Amino acid sequence: GQQVMQIPQYQHVQEGEDFTTYCNSSTTLSNIQWYKQRPGGHPVFLIQLVKSGEVKKQKRLTFQFGEAKKNSSLHITATQTTDVGTYFCAGREGGSYIPTFGRGTSLIVHP
């Protein structure tokens, strides 16, 4: 079945440093979604990427979808303590009704 690998599992950064999490799929994806889960909270949808090579930005967050549509990344510039949480990618194969979630990357920001 489809697998979505996400790395790293954890990332500690000093406030102001950059952060990147990566997702890799074993198969070509139709689309990929990104979610953020704050500690003690529930996942909240951030963005969806559909096109090959697509890049989208939300303030300090940059999302990329690979040319082959098998990988994606989320980059945060100059992290803040409000960025703390777990970031999940969820990739969907073309023939599948539902996406498969990666295991998530937990971001810890030290002030």
The residues binding another protein (CB under 8 A) are 1, 6, 9, 30-31, 33, 35, 41-45, 48, 50, 88, 90, 92, 97-98, 100-104
Closest distance to another protein from the beta carbon of 16 (Å)? 27
Nearer Cβ to another protein (11/100): 100
Measured between alpha carbons, how far is 33 from 26 in angstroms, rounded to an integer?
Answer: 16
Cis before 8? omega within 30: yes
Buried b (16+ CB within 10 A) or exposed e, 2-12: eebebeeeebe
Closest distance to another protein from the beta carbon of 25 (Å)? 14
Nearer Cβ to another protein (26/80): 26
Strand, coil or helix: what is 109?
Answer: strand
Nearer Cβ to another protein (15/45): 45
